[in-house]
A and B are shown apart, each in its own frame.
Chain A
Amino acid sequence: MPRMNVNCFGTSILGRRHAACGSPNQDAWGHYRSPSGHLAVVCDGVGSCELSHLGSRAACAAVREVARTITCDSEIASFGQLVEQAWLAKLPSGDVGQFATTCLFTLRLRSGRVVTGGVGDGLAAMGAVGRECSTLVELNGGDFGETCALGGGGGARAWRQEEADDSEGGVWALLATDGLSNDLAVNRLGHFAAWLIERVGPLSARRRATFLRSQLGRTRVGGGSDDQTFALQWSCNHG
């Protein structure tokens, strides 16, 4: 079995619309290690829902909880349902719809199997380091601002996920909320991942965060009005 390093980083910045009215960032993200493998999660609270910033954080925690205990293929196949159950259990009482959130994840199991997907709009993609082409997970995202989400249209029924074999290493997975993904050039995702890994990856966590915030702020994709969040996870084979 080759010795593998799995790396992950990401960032989230508050959109101008939320900054202007003092609203919290409705996106949430995280990356975690567990006995089952390495996990990254990116969630985008649905804008029209009052408590979606809590929903997105609860979704990150729910995915972490499910991924930590996952042991067999049938659990991977029903990952969306398990996450939805765990998410519902974490919400305070009230109208579930007010917590609606998208939920994207990538889980690299110890076996080298990478599972990536989720529910809602945004972007979930996988590719191989050094190659231009990438695979987009066909998310059931909804159109024109009507988003499939946990607690909203579709729920776990709209969950989509795909797998890749990373037993030799070198697979990356990119997750992004629509505040960023709407303006990412899909045919440049491989280059984007390579730039992140080679240019941004070696920076210290602190410098990386500053650099990414400055890059996102200056690009002002989508007019910069929406929150922007992404996470990239990739593996390196060290023989």
Chain B
Amino acid sequence: MSQLSDFTIAAPRPLPVIVLADVSGSMSEHGKIESLNHALAEMLASFGSESQEAAQIHVAVITFGGEAAELHTALAPASSVKWNPMRASGRTPLGGAVALATTLVEDRTKIPGRAYRPVIVLASDGAPTDEWQKPIQQLLLSERGKRADRFALAIGDDADKAMLGAFVNDPARPVLAASDARQIQKFFKWVTMSVTARSRSATPNATLPPPTTDFVLDEI
């Protein structure tokens, strides 16, 4: 046993994944919320079973539905998260969810300096019902938020693609579209595989590449 270990942090460096999940009333239609719940439960199980030698995947889920956004699942190692299925109802307060994500990413007590580049995933099937431009701008201007890997999934035809594009804010990285519930799971399988590959790599800070052809959805 190295004596140096008395002065080092034993836990592997965290790789945070923050999911912003639309749980507005419209998500209860056509099996969308069931599909999203299933996809997130599978993602958590997969992350939780990963080897944690170099990086430990941490997950937080922020939901936006009802009247306000809320932290549905606090940021914690995926292996310790007990998944609690989400319910869909009410409005689409996306701006509040983005503001919560910005606060979380900038909080160095929750995401320390030693953490690897966070991934923020936004999935929504509608248009925001609150002010969203300013929160997205604040995320993109924040020291750490602007460096996070951001992905967006437009679910169905009514998703606000312009807003999702503003969230991603990267011409090289298209907003992806899921035309049905099955494709929601396909998208999160791709997220799972990509994040897992990053956590195993020698350079876990590298940004995620766009989806390969196997996982390309209908790009907008």
Contacts and interface: CB of A to CB of B under 8 A. Distances in A.
Interface stretch (B1-9, B92-100, B172-180): B1-9
Given A143-B143, A222-B13, A215 B4 contact: yes
Nearest to B114: A182
B7 A188 contact: yes
B147 interface: yes
Interface stretch (A56-64, A88-96, A191-199): A191-199
A141 B114 CA distance: 11
A132 interface: no
A204 interface: no
Contacts of A121: 113
A17 B202 contact: yes
Contacts of B4: 215-216, 218-219, 221
The interface residues of chain A, by DSSP majority, are classed as helix
Contacts of A16: 202
A183 B144 CA distance: 20
Contacts of B165: none
A192 B6 CA distance: 8
B113 A143 contact: yes
Contact of A146 (B2, B7, B147): B147
A158 B115 CA distance: 21
A191 B7 CA distance: 7
Contacts of B205: 144-145
Interface residues of A, number: 29
A195 B7 contact: yes
Interface in B90-120: 113-118
A184 B8 contact: yes
Interface string B144-156: 1001100000000
25 contacts: A17-B202, A121-B113, A141-B113, A143-B117, A144-B144, A144-B148, A145-B116, A145-B206, A146-B147, A183-B9, A184-B8, A184-B9, A188-B7, A189-B7, A191-B6, A192-B7, A214-B2, A215-B3, A215-B4, A218-B1, A218-B4, A219-B5, A219-B8, A223-B53, A223-B54
Given A144-B116, A183-B8, A215-B4, 5 more contacts: A20-B202, A144-B115, A219-B5, A225-B54, A225-B202
Interface of B: 1-9, 12-13, 53-54, 113-118, 143-144, 147-148, 202-203, 205-206
Interface of A: 16-17, 20, 47, 121, 141, 143-146, 182-185, 188-189, 191-192, 195, 199, 214-216, 218-219, 221-223, 225
